[in-house]
Each structure stands twice: as C-alpha cells, then as structure tokens.
Amino acid sequence: MDNEVRVIEIKKSVFAANEKEADELRDANKKKGTFLLNLMASPGAGKTTTLTQVINKLKNELKIAVMEADIDSDVDAIKIKEKTGVESIQLHTGGMCHLDAEMTKQGLAGLEGKDIDLVILENVGNLVCPAEFDTGASKNIMILSVPEGHDKPLKYPLMFSICDLVIINKIDVLPYFDFDLKLCEEYVKMRNPNATIIPISAKTGEGVDKVCEWLRNQVKLWKGSK
C-alpha cells in the first residue's frame, strides 16, 4: 500500500501561516513595550520626507528606529539616518512587492535589546500587495499624496480598509490639482469608517504636529495596556 494515492484536505487560507506569525510578533512586541508602525504608500507619496519630519519632532521623547523595506538599494535607510540620526536598517524583500511577518521579525531581531519605543517600518512603495500581508504591526498607516488623486480609496479599497490613519500629504500643492479633499475623506470613510484622516504638507510642516500627536497617543496606549 506504499504507493497509494491519498487526498489530504487542507481548506486553509494561503496566508494562514503569515497571520499566525504576525499575531505572535504583535504579542512579543507588546511584552517588550515596542510599538511597530507599518507605513505604506505609493512610490513618491512622501514617505521618507514625512518620516523625517515626524521623527525629528518625537526623537527626544521616544526611542525610535526605522526599518526600510525595498526591493533593492539602501538610499532610504541612509537618508533617514543622515536627516534624523536615529538607527535605521535596510531590509531587502528579494524581488517581492511587500514585506511579510517573517521578514519583519528578522528585521526586528537586528534591533533586539535596544529598548526601542517606536519602530517604524517603511513598507515597499505599493498600494496593492502590502495590504494583503499582515506584518505584525501594532497599527497600519498610509500616505496618499494630492497629485495621486482623490479617487484612490475607490481604486485600492483593501489598502484603505486596513489603515488606522490615512495621511493626505502635499496639501501645499492643492491649488494646482483637481483634488477634492472633502470627497477624498468621504471615500476613505466609506471603506473604513474608523480611519483617522490628517491632511499635511511634509514640505511646509503643516499638520505634522497632528500626526505626532496621534502617534504619541498610540504608543502610550500600546505601552499602557501591557
């Protein structure tokens, strides 16, 4: 009977293994008091510039580290280090368009024992794939920039439905684009009624304090509910 053909029923999501790993990572981070923020956006939305602004305002009260995820290169990790002085490490996804919990865990291992309050994971620039893979983050946020258009929440529903905070960046160029801020907020709420929306300009600094305030509260809540 050695070569008998057997059918094994599995009936499980392909993502089951990743989701389990993500939950374990969240638990471990909670115990350590480390808040992991997963930041997503399309290429060019202003992730690195926004991060630089936010980190410089918060680095005296929180111990921060950044993990940059890209398919290749380390330009972002170097830029963050130069402009903020906080520790930044570069992760390469090996050709993949997103980061998963396993890769995140490996990255975090590089920060082990450093008592970091806030780790910011700058995910691969993409509005589709990163939304499918739970990284084990405490909270997910995304940046949508004005030139991309106010209809993006309709086109990328999954991304907007998993984000706790949606930052609308580059509002300094609003007069030059047909971007309807009100309509955009409506679309976001349609996909995700619980999302917080903060319009900012990372260039002029407008609204950045509100993002810091949100983040400060989230880190406090995470650490407080151990």
> Interface residues with another protein (CB under 8 A)?
3-18, 95-98, 100, 126, 128-129, 132-133, 158, 190
Side by side, which strands form the sheet with 118-122? 87-92, 64-70, 118-122, 35-41, 139-145, 165-169, 196-199
Closest Cα partner for 170 from 45, 1, 28, 58?
A: 45
CA dihedral 214, 217, 223, 226 (to 10 degrees): -100
For the record, the structure tokens of 220 come out as 């406090």
Are residues 168 and 140 in contact, defined by beta-carbon separation less than 8 angstroms?
Answer: no
Judged by beta carbon, residue 99 or residue 171, the one nearer another protein is 99
| Least separation in angstroms between CB 141 and another protein | 20
Residue 67 pairs with which residues in a beta bridge? 89, 121
Judged by beta carbon, residue 42 or residue 88, the one nearer another protein is 42
| Least separation in angstroms between CB 167 and another protein | 23
d(CA 75, CA 68): 9
d(CA 59, CA 138): 19
Helix (H) or strand (E) holding 118: strand 118-122
Judged by beta carbon, residue 12 or residue 226, the one nearer another protein is 12
Judged by beta carbon, residue 126 or residue 196, the one nearer another protein is 126
| Least separation in angstroms between CB 186 and another protein | 11
Judged by beta carbon, residue 188 or residue 208, the one nearer another protein is 188
